[in-house]
Amino acid sequence: MKHIARKRFGQHFLTDTGVIDAIVRAIDPRPGQPMVEIGPGLAALTQPLVERLGRLTVIELDRDLAARLRDHGQLDVVESDVLQVDFSALRASASGPLRVVGNLPYNISTPILFHLLEHVAAVQDQHFMLQKEVIDRMVAAPATADYGRLSVMLQWRYAMENVLFVPPEAFDPPPRVDSAVVRMLPLAEPPVLDRRHLAELVQVAFSQRRKLLRHTLGKWLEQRQAGGNFDLQRRAEEVPVAEYVALAQATQA
């Protein structure tokens, strides 16, 4: 029986075999590696992955799809909202750090990325298909229109690369946007800081991105009697990630 894509789950099923092959090559799965796929859907990516891995854990919210996936003898199915999944616990029961992959629902892609950030110590790498516009923001350099809160909050912890463009016609039904695949490698020696403190700082900085930072971050720093030599005569998008990190380290309790 044909599965009808459910709009409330943001389902767009990958069908282009050439794109699927290119994604699998980019991921380069090896036998025995512990891998978790988010949103396997109709298993277009799942099957070539599990053929190379031997076994694969999949996270699927749609109960009908989860039931189908359970019939596959090489899959461990977690029927759950991915935002409720404890990836650190999955790592604890695995033979090594997790490789996480998936075609992420566009409507909750950013919450998923921030959820995984909480479990980054459990992860070896991440390969995700996302809306191209989101990936452009993830990998953006300072002083560009795409550089913002998402750029800073991911780049302080990951090295990232846009590895593949995916057109709408590669899906059924086709989304109204272009897609792409991003590779995310957790930094081996990340800065030591309070992530929530950095998140608050960056949120304030980009709250009015057209204004100079003295109007936003300046007040936030005054309240903490901090700031030092940080240049507030800039806009938020002009400040490199390393400077946000250094300021967070200098101002955290």
Annotated binding site: 12, 14, 39, 60, 81, 103
The residue assigned the tokens 């390393």 is 242
Q: Residue 53 and residue 49: Cα distance in Å, rounded?
A: 6
Q: Residue 95 and residue 222: Cα distance in Å, rounded?
A: 48
Q: Which residues belong to the annotated binding site for S-adenosyl-L-methionine?
A: 12, 14, 39, 60, 81, 103
Q: Residue 117 and residue 119: Cα distance in Å, rounded?
A: 5
Q: Residue 60 and residue 67: Cα distance in Å, rounded?
A: 10
Sign of CA dihedral 231, 236, 242, 246: positive
Q: Residue 155 and residue 158: Cα distance in Å, rounded?
A: 5
Give yes or no for a contact between 217 and 238, defined as CB atoms under 8 angstroms apart: no
Contacting residues for 163 by C-beta, under 8 A, at least 6 apart: 26, 127, 180, 181, 182, 183
Phi, psi of 17 (to 5 degrees): -65, -30
What count of other Cβ atoms lies within 10 Å of the Cβ of residue 219? 12
Count of residues making up the chain: 253
Token pair in block for residue 179: 């897609």
